[in-house]
Structure 1
């Protein structure tokens, strides 16, 4: 996990809270909050990669003292963002095109082979 995998944003959308740290078990992560947080509604946004390699993102809010009238919208990146998403999409469409060429080529060869078979009635031989 990177330092920005878990972000805590204050009501004004600024939130320098510190680095994300794993617990000793390695399955839970935490962010150390600054002491003396002012009253308001805070947004926690996270983006991690699950054990089966799928991106998981979300957000939730909590309040300190009196809640704010508004909270910060957390804009999480999607899995298709950046160069990795672009390369993944390109690779996926190249593999689809390869499958179409392979299946189409096999169908063409089978059709031509059946047409050349003696006694099939389609050829004059």
Structure 2
């Protein structure tokens, strides 16, 4: 009887642990999607993106935020983190350049510093 109780307890605890793991993961993905949408909505207004561009930029921004989050979690020190973030930023900008028109990219580049600051503030706000 005690063995059955222990086995059942382990099964229940395992199920609860998996539920917590998946719930936490889903919440993190929701935050990334929310952040990407917020940034992309701002870019849509700022750059007058059409629907096709919006969808592509949204996916680029989602991938960017996932990479940034993973990089921060894996980075050992600030120098390593800065190098990884620079590479991630360059990749994002190359992808954006292929989606945006020349004029849109110029406008994006002109406000890049402000956009990075807003994105950083958003990520710090949602990190907790």
- TM bin, normalised by shorter chain, reads 0.3 to 0.5
Q: TM-score, normalised by structure 1?
A: 0.32
Greater relative contact order (Cα < 8 A, sep 6+):
2
More helix by percentage: 2
More strand by percentage: 1
Structure ID, larger Rg? 1
Q: TM-score, normalised by structure 2?
A: 0.31
